[in-house]
Amino acid sequence: MKYFQYYDLPNWNIVCQKLRDYVNDNPEFFSNTSLSAFRRSADGNVLANIPEITEMIKPLNCTIRVISFYILYEHTDDSWIHVDGGAHATRIILPVLNCDNTETRYYVSDSPLTELKQPNGLSYRVLDQTSNYKQVATLHVTQPAVHRVHELHGVFLPKDQVFPRITCGIGVHEDLTHLLK
Ligand SMILES: [Fe+2]
């Protein structure tokens, strides 16, 4: 099983630059830490500002369900290793701001999981014993990728990380796990 697959999607550099502009034009991204893992609906501002997103994902034969920003304001630790909530097992991830040298790391564990809620109300599940896991894959967040969000994962940040660190997640209606066999 693959945990992720990189894709050289059309005009992804332009999309990522426009996402960066969008974030830089919205001061709330830099001041409101309750926005962590903030989610905007697909028919909101993001798609209106960046229509290239629709064209960009066409090679993946999927349709946009939701566009969200995943925002980190501080270093993470083992307690952030988690499985995303929700029914959708895959998502498209794009680097937006301060993602160089950061990684999404995948793990396996036989520890039970406990359900928690993000400040925005979305649920996720974390390991009961944070010492009990093994890293099995590393996604470098420097280009678009389709990745699994129902497998254990966490974000690795280097010591000199600049914050906020922001990625964009595009949720789609279709299950893309067939791309990750
Ligand atoms: Fe996640």
Q: Degrees (nearest 5) of the Cα angle 59, 61, 64?
A: 105
Distance 153 CA to ligand 1 centre (A): 6
3-state secondary structure at position 48: helix
Domain-located, residue 83: yes
Whether 52 is covered by a domain: the verdict is yes
How many A from CA of 13 to the centre of ligand 1? Answer: 23
**pLDDT per residue over 23-80, tens digit each?**
999 898 998 887 777 766 655 689 989 999 999 999 999 999 999 899 999 998 887 8
pLDDT tens by residue, 149-178: 999 999 999 999 999 999 999 999 999 999
When pLDDT is averaged across residues 77-93 and rounded to a whole number, the result is 92
pLDDT surpassing 90 at residue 112:
yes
91 CA distance to ligand 1 centroid (A)?
10
Distance 122 CA to ligand 1 centre (A): 11
DSSP 83-139: EE-SS--EEEEEEEES-TT-EEEEEE--S-EEEEE-TTS-EEEEESSTT--EEEEEE
Distances (CA, A) of 112 to 2, 83, 131: 23, 11, 12
More confident residue, 89 or 34: 89
- Give dist(CA 171, CA 96) in Å, integer: 16
Q: Would you say how long the chain is, in residues?
A: 181
Distance (angstroms) between ligand 1 centre and the Cα of 33 equals: 17
Ligand 1 centroid, distance to 72 Cα (angstroms)? 12
User: What average pLDDT does this structure show over 114-137?
Assistant: 88
Q: What is the mean pLDDT of residues 77-97?
A: 93
Cα distances (Å, whole numbers) of residue 96 to 145, 158, 163, 168: 13, 17, 12, 6
In a domain, 145, yes or no: yes
Alpha-carbon Rg for the chain, nearest whole angstrom, is 16
Q: Is the pLDDT of residue 90 over 80?
A: yes
Residue 133 lies in a domain: yes
According to the model, what pLDDT value does residue 42 have? 55
In a domain, 10, yes or no: yes
- Going from the Cα of 169 to the center of ligand 1, the distance in angstroms, rounded, reads 10
Distance 70 CA to ligand 1 centre (A): 9
pLDDT of residue 91: 97
Query: What residue numbers bound the domain in which 92 lies?
Result: 4-173
Interval between CA 81 and ligand 1 midpoint (Å): 8
**This prediction's pTM:** 0.94
CA of 8 to the centre of ligand 1 (A): 22
CATH of the domain at 12: 2.60.120
The answer as to whether 178 is a domain residue is: no
Average pLDDT, the chain: 92
The confidence band for 114, taking pLDDT boundaries of 50, 70 and 90, is very high
Q: How many domains does the chain have?
A: 1
Is residue 180 a part of any domain in this protein?
no
Distance 51 CA to ligand 1 centre (A): 25
Is residue 118 predicted with pLDDT exceeding 90?
no
Domain contains 84: yes
